[in-house]
Structure 1
Amino acid sequence: MTEREPFRMQIKVRLYELDPLGHLNHAVYHSYAEVARLEAFERAARGSKALEEQKIAAVLLASNISYRREIRRGETVEVTCDVKFGTGKTFQMEQQIVKLDGTLSAELLVTVGLMDLERRKLVDDPRGRFERAGFDLKLLSTSE
């Protein structure tokens, strides 16, 4: 049995994303991670609008990043997302930003929850909510 790969997408570095040192601005790493998270959720939804109709959306609660290698102008990176569901109202997502040559540039560990947008409170059982909404959990998590 082969191990499944996490969700991944490519992003090309643009000139305006660089800092005065000529490498990717620290805040842009977080933006790349956010773009990949949103894309992963959208693809996993497979067109389902169930969470949106229930006025429930993913919300970022914490983000921790470790920078490993600089990213420079014109490079393309892959950003990965791998959800680790547990118990409770939150879940973890492990993310990596990797150059196309395989060099690890950054690792992120983020905490996410699903928020009821009317009550402004986190909902219980995010994994179950995704599943009942028709999301492809195998796209979100290599543990599924």
Structure 2
Amino acid sequence: MSQTEPFTTEIAVRYRDLDPENHVNNAVYGTYIEQARLTYLDHVLEKAADDSRVVIAHLSIDYQRPVTLSDESVAVTVRTTELNDSSIPMEFELRTSDGIAATGESVMVTVDEDGDPRPIPSAWRDRITSFEPAL
């Protein structure tokens, strides 16, 4: 199940995403990233994201241009950059028809029922490495 192109999720820009300046609010970019990340996990792990016991330990977003309602949608690409013992760093790119709107990075950490870090399940590691040819 190797992926040659970046995994991409297309997300519609909604009126409710806009701030008073008619730009997508900066916090909504994080929601777009979250939606793309969950879609990626559902696809790669072939299971519902609700079954995945992960927390976000880090999220950063670099804004490059505003997104507006006239953009209609944002294409969010997702790529896992490495697999550590319990953490999964990922990169994101948010793009409209006018080019890159933002880039971002996150780190997910697999946790147990008490919220303590635990090793990435071997089945997850196998599925992600087979999906991501650069790992």
Q: Per the shorter chain, which TM-score range?
A: 0.7 to 0.9
- Give the distance between the partners of 1:71 and 1:78, measured in 2 at CA: 11
Correspondence for 1:69: 65
Shift of 1:46: 2.1
How many Å apart are 1:47 and its aligned residue?
Answer: 4.0
- Equivalent residue, structure 2, for 1:42: 42
Aligned pairs for 1:27-106 (under 5 A) are: 27-47=27-47, 52=51, 57-75=53-71, 76-101=73-98, 103-106=99-102
- Helix, strand or coil at the partner of 2:39: helix
Name structure 1 gaps, 5 residues minimum.
none
Deviation, 1:121, is 0.9
The structural deviation recorded for 1:131 is 3.5
The corresponding residue for 1:23 is: 23
Q: What does the per-residue CA deviation read over 1:44-103, in whole Å, with 9 as the maximum and x for residues that have no partner?
A: 122489x93xxx5121111011000110014211001100124332121000100134x0
Shift of 1:138: 4.0
Unaligned runs of at least 5 residues, structure 2: none
CA RMSD of superposed structures (Å): 2.4
Q: Is the 8 A contact 2:76 2:93 kept in 1?
A: yes
Q: Does 1:119 align with 2:114?
A: yes
Structure 2 distance, partners of 1:45, 1:129, is: 8
Paired AA for residue 98 in structure 1: R
Is the counterpart of residue 130 in structure 1 residue 124 in structure 2? yes
In 2, distance between residues paired with 1:10 and 1:106?
15
